[in-house]
Every structure is written in structure tokens, then in C-alpha cells.
Amino acid sequence: MKQVFAYFFRKEDPNRPTNFNLKAMHFINKAAILIFIVGIVIYIIRKLY
């Protein structure tokens, strides 16, 4: 979980090149990770009750 939080809350590196494709890729990755975590939490809650 530490690596996931580090991915979401890292500071922007000024030496790293940025463009629209890279920003879009990171946005999609973050959205996919969040949806996956929400799905796991819902699955666990349903199994417990």
C-alpha cells in the first residue's frame, strides 16, 4: 500500500519531460487503481455480511 500512496502523492519532478500523452496515461492509471481498490473493498464488505 505504501507504493500505491507514493504513486498518488509524489511531487512533480521538474527534470522529467511532460506531455499530454504522459499526463493522460497517469490519470488513467490512477483511475484504474482507485476503481480496483473500491472493488476489493466492496467485495470484502459483501463477503463479511
Q: For position 47, what pLDDT does the model report?
A: 95
Residue closest to 29 by CA, chosen among 1, 8, 2: 8
Beta-carbon contacts of residue 29 (< 8 Å; ≥ 6 apart) = 7
Q: For position 32, what pLDDT does the model report?
A: 95
pLDDT of the chain, 49 residues: tens digit per residue: 788 778 778 877 778 777 899 889 989 998 999 999 999 999 999 999 8
Q: For position 48, what pLDDT does the model report?
A: 94
Q: For position 36, what pLDDT does the model report?
A: 95
Question: How far apart (Å, rounded) are the C-alpha atoms in residues 29 and 14?
Answer: 21
Q: For position 18, what pLDDT does the model report?
A: 79
40: which 3 cell numbers? 476489493
